[in-house]
Amino acid sequence: MKRRLFLKSAMAGSAVATAVGAGLLAPSMVFANTADFKAKSDAATASTAAAGKGSFKFKAPKIAENGAVVPVTVDASKMEGVTQISISVANNGTPLAASFNLSGAQGYVSTRIKMGKTSPVVALVTAGGVTTKVTQEVKVTIGGCGG
Amino acid sequence: MGSIKLKPKARKGVIGIKALIKHPMETGQRKKKGKLVPANHIVHMVVSHNGTVVVDADIGSTVSKNPYFKFNVAGAKGDTIELKYKDNKGKTGSATAKSK
């Protein structure tokens, strides 16, 4: 438990440190997501790199009419022991859109995300301790962050 | 901050939980009339079924405005579903509904 806490704070610390070092974050400027969430996002990106192809269903439109509202559905209900479903947008500022820890609900989530531009969207499903992914490229004609 | 529409519906032993939360979900990166709109989005959400937490979600600013979620949980008509959220400003919201 202590090791995890230490690792967690180390990760969060380093994530913020690199961002500040790169001049991306001025402290007075709005920090859209907390350091803790950014750490989760970095961890998700790392998981994505390491994960093998999943056998679950990931529905996302090939072309998003409106980048502000892109419906995505992850259906891993046929998988056993699903504990977590995460959705990441590779080319967004903070890739991790949401991470759902399931402790009784079935392996299924549906939501709507914002996409700034065309990007692969990754669904990560962790079941029985193993994380797998399905990626889908979503083309965006109008960006979703008002830009 | 916003109101929540929570619609659980039981069908064949599974409750489909549909939730629509009214929330601006500002990323903190958008500019309005030259000024940066500050971040204002849900960060955490918990869904419970008959008092037991079934979904514990970390939400980022990438989720759309007025976020919509759908989950499935094994259950029956009459079960109680509760949704609680917290946003980055510390504001919270919650809703409870009995499954139809």
Cross-strand bridge partners of residue B45: B57, B85
- Enumerate residues 6+ apart whose C-beta is below 8 A from B15: B8, B9, B49, B72, B73, B74, B75, B76, B79, B81, B99
User: Which of these CATH numbers, 2.70.150.10, 2.60.40.2470, 3.40.1000.10, 1.20.1250.20, describes A2-140?
Assistant: 2.60.40.2470
pLDDT at A128 over 80: yes
- Enumerate residues 6+ apart whose C-beta is below 8 A from A126: A82, A83, A84, A85, A86
Residue A2 Cα, gap to closest chain B Cα (Å): 22
Give the mean model confidence (pLDDT) for residues A64-80. Answer: 92
- For residue A40, the surrounding DSSP H or E stretch is helix A35-50
Q: What is the mean pLDDT of chain A?
A: 81
B interface test, pick of A101, A122, A124 with most B CB neighbours within 10 Å: A101
Domain boundaries, chain B: 4-98
pLDDT at A137 over 60: yes
pLDDT at A32 over 70: no
Chain A environment of B71 (Cβ under 8 Å): 100, 105-106, 108-109
Q: Give me the phi and psi of A108, to 5 degrees please.
A: -150, 125
Please check whether residue A28 touches B, CB under 8 A: no
Residue B66 Cα, gap to closest chain A Cα (Å): 9
Please check whether residue A145 touches B, CB under 8 A: yes
Q: Sort residue B13 into left (φ over 0), alpha (ψ -120 to 50) or beta.
A: left
Contact B29 A93 (CB under 8 A): yes
Residues B2-25: pLDDT tens digits? 589 999 999 999 999 999 999 999
Residue of B nearest to A107 (CA): B72
Residues B16-58: pLDDT tens digits? 999 999 999 998 888 888 888 888 999 999 999 999 999 999 9
Contact B65 A33 (CB under 8 A): no
ipTM: 0.92
Q: pTM for this structure?
A: 0.81
**Topology (CATH level 3) of domain B4-98:** Immunoglobulin-like (2.60.40)
